[in-house]
Structure 1
Amino acid sequence: MTAAVELLTFGESMVSLRSAGPLSVGGSLRMHVAGAESNVAVGVARLGHRVAWAGVVGADPHGQFILRQLRSEGIRLHHREDAGRSTGVMFLEQRTADVSRAFYYRAGSAGSSLSREDLDLAFEAGARVLHLTGITAALSLESRRAVEYAAARAAGEGMVVSLDVNYRGKLWSRDEARAVLTPLARHASILIASDDELGLVASAPDPGSDIDDSDAAGAGDADAAESAMAAELLDRGVQEVVVKRGAKGAGVHTTGGRWEVPAVPVTSLDTVGAGDAFTAGYLSALLDGEDVARRLQRGALAGAFAVSTAGDWEGLPRTDELALLATTPGGTTQR
């Protein structure tokens, strides 16, 4: 019998065509696999855990490329190929050294047709943790229902449910996201959000629109708002509220206290996928039985690998590589 996986996730993976400069002037494109959930799957698998991904791809070369890449990372697949729909495509433009822009061609894609029936076989195989994102819930009514079904089923079966808000403004409005994600969060054991996303799952003031943090007083107000929203989520049954702050580090709120970790200082090359890398590090440490502080530390390390290497997931570390950024001075070569 095949051993149950430790982490199950599902969602749309796309082909990402990356440009090193403005798309409007042409040039070479590099082909990658993109998708928040598959990014996390790769990250957790590289850190030594059994991982499964469920999803739908088109019966096309793009879908074959995605499946091949995920299999090569040791990820167990529960997938369906839809001959009537195409695999989603994303163009990612490095417009300046500090600004990247994504252009999606995913409306009506194979990945957006994911349904609860696609998930049943994956659930039957068993898992300790189910990881979800708000991205999948935004793709279609069918995929939204699949996310709601999965969250309720996993919570009912005693699995740890990890929900990363992962708001995408090109997929839905903040009001639409709030209406779906706030009730969904009641199933979450671990709620993960950027500091401007907490207002999408809690009713306290939304720092994305209501808080001015341009000065010390504003920063204090933002911190108070974060604490209030975290407290509300904890009161509703969430066990850990994880807040990602990019270059400012990350924090976790629990009923037992609050922990903070600074970002690991590295030279930033590519910030795409950094939040997923952090999540992968955090969840892998959870699976290893580490406490909240060490989960945060590993998340910060994994995020640092992501931003200091090119690609959504290509530079994510293996377990024996974590010490490279934890102990090695910058600008050195190991010999």
Structure 2
Amino acid sequence: MKKLDVVTFGETMVLFNPEQMLPLEYNHRFMKQIGGAESNLAIGLQKLGHTTGWFSKLGDDPFGRYIHQFIRGHGVDTSRCVYTDEAPTGLFFKEKRSPTNISVYYYRKNSAASLLASEDLDEEYIAGAKFLHLTGITPALSESIRMAVFKAIEIAKKHKVKIVFDPNIRLKLWSREEAKPVITEIAEAADIILPGLDEGEIMTGKNTPEEIADQLCLKGDKTIIVKLGEKGAYYQAGSDKGYVDGFPVSQIVDPVGAGDGFAAGVISGMLRNEPISEAVKRGNAVGAIVVGVNGDVEGLPNNEEVEQLIKGAKDNQDVKR
């Protein structure tokens, strides 16, 4: 079996993206795209030159086949995907009133992905990866897929596969009270945690990047990277810690998916054995590029584009000095 750099799984839905910035009830034309944190990550890493695998349970319907073909078309291994005729593929719609005022409406309850269960996992497939990537979205979908997440963690631990966890807390899916114990348990098992500032506060009760990282590190030797949006990120890996500035963005077109791009950049840096500060810089660069393009995956850059942004920023700093 081919060894992959990263394996991930979760729900990807068909996205209907409006062509105009109007309230949703006044939009009549939409672009059909896809969106899902885990597949965004897999495609992002694939475009950066790494090998990835993504799997899910898809509806045996045209939307399920579209998602499968789209992700596979980007070079991601989808060989562990399964189809079901017991539930449909999930959908969601974006509403854009302005570039910074975006709402998302999900139609995913009892979707095909929510039927994924522990018996759908392939232990050898997960065991062969360098990283297992998980998000906090997946365990919120159903009890069966939540158990699959913990089974995947068990497999990764058994085979010494590093676990990357992006909390991605979606309060439209579950309450803070429901989410916190599950997210905390996954975080305790993870080697690398990538919370946003708000997510870190939910997880730890702390409200500064330093305090959040310190609290998350109480449960073992971990790498914590707290995402700070346009300000960049704060990282802590043992005694190595610090802030990494974000990259200036001239125009925000669509901020959705930037966090997934950031995660792809960070993991790419780790796969390249870069110092943690450089891996975070790479994550910041990918995130800055993603927000300038409409769609969850369409703006994910290749490695040349990332290197150009990093080099351009460095050259500007050298000129200012």
1:273 equivalenced with 2:283 (yes/no): no
Contact 1:54 1:122 in 2 (8 A): no
What are the superposed Cα offsets for residues 244-283 of structure 1, whole Å, 9 maximum, x if unpaired?
Answer: 1111111111212212111111221110000000000000
* Alignment partner, residue 309 of structure 2: 325
1:248 equivalenced with 2:231 (yes/no): yes
In structure 2, distance between residues paired with 1:122 and 1:66: 24
* Alignment partner, residue 239 of structure 1: 222
Give the TM-score taking structure 2 as reference length. 0.92
Amino acid in structure 2 at the alignment position of 1:275? G
In structure 2, distance between residues paired with 1:190 and 1:241: 6
Residues 206/232 of structure 1: CA separation in 2 closer, same or farther (3 Å cut): closer
Shift of 1:124: 5.6
Residues 44/320 of structure 1: CA separation in 2 closer, same or farther (3 Å cut): same
Residues 122/13 of structure 1: CA separation in 2 closer, same or farther (3 Å cut): farther
In structure 2, distance between residues paired with 1:124 and 1:89: 27
In structure 2, distance between residues paired with 1:230 and 1:244: 11
* Alignment partner, residue 39 of structure 1: 40
In structure 2, distance between residues paired with 1:227 and 1:261: 13
Shift of 1:181: 1.1
Contact 1:5 1:125 in 2 (8 A): no
Contact 2:193 2:224 in 1 (8 A): yes
1:161 is paired with a residue whose SS is strand
Shift of 1:312: 0.5
* Alignment partner, residue 189 of structure 1: 191
Unaligned segments of structure 2, at least 5 residues? 314-321
1:253 is paired with a residue whose SS is strand
Report % sequence identity. 37
2:137 is paired with a residue whose SS is helix
What are the superposed Cα offsets for residues 21-46 of structure 1, whole Å, 9 maximum, x if unpaired?
Answer: 32111321011110000000011111
Residues 122/273 of structure 1: CA separation in 2 closer, same or farther (3 Å cut): farther
Contact 1:155 1:188 in 2 (8 A): no
In structure 2, distance between residues paired with 1:99 and 1:206: 27
Contact 1:251 1:261 in 2 (8 A): yes
Amino acid in structure 1 at the alignment position of 2:98? T
* Alignment partner, residue 315 of structure 1: 299
What are the superposed Cα offsets for residues 48-105 of structure 1, whole Å, 9 maximum, x if unpaired?
Answer: 1110001011011101110111111100011010112100000111122311111000
Query: For 2:166, which of 164, 167, 186 is the aligned residue?
Result: 164
Shift of 1:15: 0.2
Give the TM-score taking structure 1 as reference length. 0.89
Contact 2:168 2:195 in 1 (8 A): yes
Correspondence list, 1:204-223, <5 A: 205-207=205-207, 223=208
Unaligned segments of structure 1, at least 5 residues? 208-222, 330-335
In structure 2, distance between residues paired with 1:263 and 1:136: 28
Contact 2:282 2:310 in 1 (8 A): no
2:180 is paired with a residue whose SS is helix
1:137 is paired with a residue whose SS is helix
1:93 is paired with a residue whose SS is strand
Q: Which stretch of structure 1 is more off in the superposition, 114-123 or 83-92? A: 114-123
In structure 2, distance between residues paired with 1:239 and 1:87: 36
* Alignment partner, residue 72 of structure 1: 73
In structure 2, distance between residues paired with 1:256 and 1:23: 49
In structure 1, distance between residues paired with 2:31 and 2:115: 27
In structure 1, distance between residues paired with 2:185 and 2:287: 29
Amino acid in structure 1 at the alignment position of 2:14? V
Q: CA RMSD in A?
A: 1.5
* Alignment partner, residue 8 of structure 1: 7
Residues 297/59 of structure 1: CA separation in 2 closer, same or farther (3 Å cut): same
* Alignment partner, residue 149 of structure 1: 151
1:300 equivalenced with 2:302 (yes/no): no
Amino acid in structure 2 at the alignment position of 1:230? A
